[in-house]
Amino acid sequence: MYTPPEEVESAISLLVEGCSIRSIQRITGIDQNTVMKILVLAGERYERLLECKIRNVQVSDIQCDEMWGFVGCKEKRNCAGGPERGDAYCFVAIERNTIESYKI
């Protein structure tokens, strides 16, 4: 990646704040494909960090939820039958009690 580190840091900060990829493109001038590559790279590195730092967490209470959305069209309207369109689910599980005692 040939993007200067300062621009990469700016893009990551905007991603963390919840900005969309297109808004980051407008704000920073970084191409949207590059922003997505930065997102993937940051996610992979953070995953490795968490795997190294968080171990043997005793879980006592888990709160689970799901988020539903759709890509392109809702599942019942997906006439083309393409797997890249239709319902999209994101499942989240959070351990509610002990996360505050583990600092990275």
Please report, for the chain, the start and end positions of each structural domain, with discontinuous segments joined by +. Answer: 5-53, 62-101
96 pLDDT exceeds 90?
A: no
Going from the C-alpha of 54 to that of each of 1, 23, 93, 101, 104, the distances in angstroms are 29, 33, 16, 11, 8
Q: What is the pLDDT of residues 14-57, one digit of tens each?
A: 999 999 999 999 999 999 999 999 999 999 999 899 889 887 77
Rounded Cα distance, 5 and 28, in Å: 13
Q: Is the pTM of this model over 0.75?
A: no
Residue 103 has pLDDT above 60, yes or no: no
Q: Rounded to 5 degrees, what are φ and ψ at 19? A: -70, 150
